[in-house]
Amino acid sequence: MREGYGTRAPRAEEAEQVAALVHEAERSQDPTAGARTPAEFRGVWSRLDLARDARVATAPDGTLAGYAQVDVVRPGRLHADGYTRPGHLGTGIGAALIDWSGDRARRLAATAPHAGAPATLLHYVMLDGAADRMLRARDYRLVRVHQRMRRSLTGPLPAPRWPEGVTVRPCDGTPEELRRVHACAEEAFADRYEGVGRPFERWSADLVHERTDPALWVLAERAGRIVGVAVCDLTTVQGAPSGEVCQLAVAREARRTGLGKALLLAAFARFADRGVTTVGLDVDSESPTGAHRLYAGAQMAVTATIGQFELGLPAR
């Protein structure tokens, strides 16, 4: 790194500063990126060894100029995130944080429950940017391409048309209901890339937080069984409230019935009822269910293209 820059572990009281830094970095690449919150980082940090699993880069004046973390998704699968604050690009922060992430992941992969088996470290970064080039130079492979999509909710919205026998309601937010939603989503996503999902505890930590409003979620049931879900959240984009479809899942037996489109349109309507004027989501561009075509057909446009890069870590 350039002289005067350094790295250290973040402090618990710096969650607000880190959230602002990460949002600035994301917004510089995608102006429609949703705001990041201190609560989000406090939640992530609660499951990390903060002294070892995260780093901030500091500028010569002591302000935060970069951030990185390494998180365990499941045994043998690790996820790294790294960000450089605009205005500090070209100082070597990005390369230093990528190298730190790789070193930390190798140490984690050598400890229980990972030890003795190969592991994989993954990064999600904007394609055709500096991070893309740095990862390729370090032997990371591009394995998937994801798209960030968004649309306006102003003006008339088409009404959902529900398949026969399907009833619709919001989520009640109870632990039992959340487990049923998780089970539906995991079953629906079993044919995704890798085919291995998230345990309930990790899923709920990722999607349920202090601002979660289960009344925004759309649950579709048939014969007492949840066969489709739209997990929705509120965020802030360019200073205005915005909707986020965090997950849209349809059980296998309910596919090709129009349920996915109906869930999406119902989510749009719930956001619009709250006065929200835009909605966004992320999608695998190679989704085996054709989700990206569904969203494009619902007038959602791509605002960013994100590469999923992976690095194999040999067994130790």
Q: How many residues appear in the chain? A: 316
d(CA 22, CA 82): 9
Number of domains in the chain: 2
Domain that holds residue 187: 155-276
| CATH number (domain holding residue 179) | 3.40.630.30
pLDDT tens-place string over residues 138-189: 999 999 999 999 999 999 999 999 999 999 999 999 999 999 999 999 999 8
C-alpha to C-alpha distances, 141 to 38, 108, 110, 271, 307, nearest whole angstrom: 32, 20, 22, 37, 10
Residues 10 and 134 in one domain: yes
- 156-170, 195-209, 243-257: which range is least confident on average? 195-209
Burial 249-269 (b: 16+ CB within 10 A, else e): bbbeebeebebbbbbbbbbbe
DSSP 216: G
User: Amino acid identity of 159?
Assistant: A
pLDDT tens-place string over residues 66-99: 999 999 888 888 999 999 999 999 999 999 999 9
Q: How far is CA 169 from the centre of its chain?
A: 25
Of the pLDDT bands very low, low, confident and very high (cuts 50, 70, 90), residue 196 is low
Residues 127 and 201 in one domain: no
Residues 125 and 171 in one domain: no
pLDDT the model gives residue 193: 66
* Among 176, 193, 175, 197, residue whose Cα is nearest residue 185: 197
User: Amino acid identity of 305?
Assistant: T
Residues 201 and 267 in one domain: yes
